[in-house]
Amino acid sequence: AAKEAGGNCLRRYQSLTHSSWLDNIQLDAEMRKALEQQEFVLYYQPKIDMRTRRIVAMEALLRWVRGDGKSIPPSRFITLAEQTGFIVNLGEFAMREACRQMMEWRARGLQDVKVSVNVSIKQFLHANMLEQVQQTLSAVDMPPSLLDIEITESVLMQNQRDLVSILKHLLKLGVDISIDDFGTGYSSFGYLREFMPSSIKIDQSFIHRMKDDWREQAIVSTLVQMAHNLHLNVVAEGVETEEQLEILQTLGCDVLQGFYFSPPVSSERMNRMLLEEGYID
Ligand code: C2E
Ligand code: MG
Ligand code: MG
Ligand code: MG
């Protein structure tokens, strides 16, 4: 019966088993307070240029450490926030803070590095997303070309006219759009007819299985070639080993991200790394 009813039914089943309805209500209330009490912070994970081995972007990733010291993983609170709509508030915070941080780094000498912010569909479809982005940028005097918005591929499958039009506007503004978790879900590439993103990020599940499975490698190779034929930049996420790096180099991947280089780290730790490696003074 669950199969017949489609995705909705399955999702409801999962949320009931993983965490009860009551747990969710409680966590949602906590989340709202947590934002006010500044329990949410951004961590940053660098993206590295394959050829120069320099940092080309920082991806901002939300972290929630509660007053009691326990941290709640994004897989838990982002999913819930997407269900309750609170993601609009959280996302606004993330965008503002990421841009502020980037301008602080630039003031200290960081050059040619973009900041990547994950944006969920709920945020996109929320009224005046475009104005919000423009306001956020102008509030800190940030050129649009320094902002890269990551949107997961599954979202584009929903074929939302509004969404495509917003994405086009953002591109026109000069903001980069990256397709996150590329290759997962129900890729149809159909949306590529309607708008061209700046990059695709090949999902980490492919990267992790590449070494032991020639078919995974063939898929990655095909994705890289397809992207290059379309003049898109290719990012590999979840790079953990030297071997994966070598394979990706052979396949011609442009940008790398993963634990091999750095896990997501706090802004304080990132400051130290940037200082040590001569990116900032
Ligand atoms: P994502 O955007 O695809 O981010 C990649 C995830 O993989 C991150 O998990 C990151 O910590 C993890 N990761 C990075 N390198 C490696 C690696 O080498 N190996 C492995 N095993 N994992 C790696 P995280 O931080 O738990 O975030 C999970 C997801 O939560 C993100 O997936 C993104 O979809 C969502 N998320 C995080 N922050 C935000 C946000 O500010 N807004 C929105 N809408 N979503 C966010
Ligand atoms: Mg991402
Ligand atoms: Mg991803
Ligand atoms: Mg993901």
Q: What pTM value is reported for the model?
A: 0.93
Instruction: Give, as residue ranges, everything with CB less than 5 Å from ion ligand 2.
Output: 118, 150, 180
42 within 8 A of 117, measured Cβ to Cβ:
no
Residue 183 Cα to ligand 2 midpoint, Å, equals 14
Tens digit of each residue's pLDDT, the chain (281 residues): 344 444 444 454 455 556 688 888 999 999 999 999 999 999 999 999 999 999 999 999 999 999 899 999 999 999 999 999 999 999 999 999 999 999 999 999 999 999 999 999 889 888 789 999 999 999 999 999 999 999 998 777 776 778 889 999 999 999 999 999 998 866 667 788 888 999 999 999 999 999 888 999 999 999 999 999 999 999 999 999 999 999 999 999 999 999 999 999 999 999 999 999 999 99
Residue 212 Cα to ligand 2 midpoint, Å, equals 25
Ligand with smallest separation from the Cα of 43: 1
Q: Is 176 exposed, middle or buried (0-12, 13-18, 19+ CB in 10 A)?
A: buried
- Sequence-distant (6+) residues with CB within 8 A of 13 are 2
**Closest residue to atom 27 of ligand 1, CA basis:** 74
Shortest-distance atom of ligand 1 to CA 260: 18
Side-chain-facing half-sphere of 217: CA atoms under 13 Å: 15
Q: Which residue out of 31, 78, 124 has the highest number of ligand 1 atoms within 8 Å of its CB and is therefore the one to mutate?
A: 78
Q: What residues are in contact with ligand 1 under a 6 Å CB criterion?
A: 45, 61-62, 73-75, 78, 87, 91, 94, 118-120, 150, 180-181, 204, 237-240, 258-259, 264
Residue 237 Cα to ligand 2 midpoint, Å, equals 9
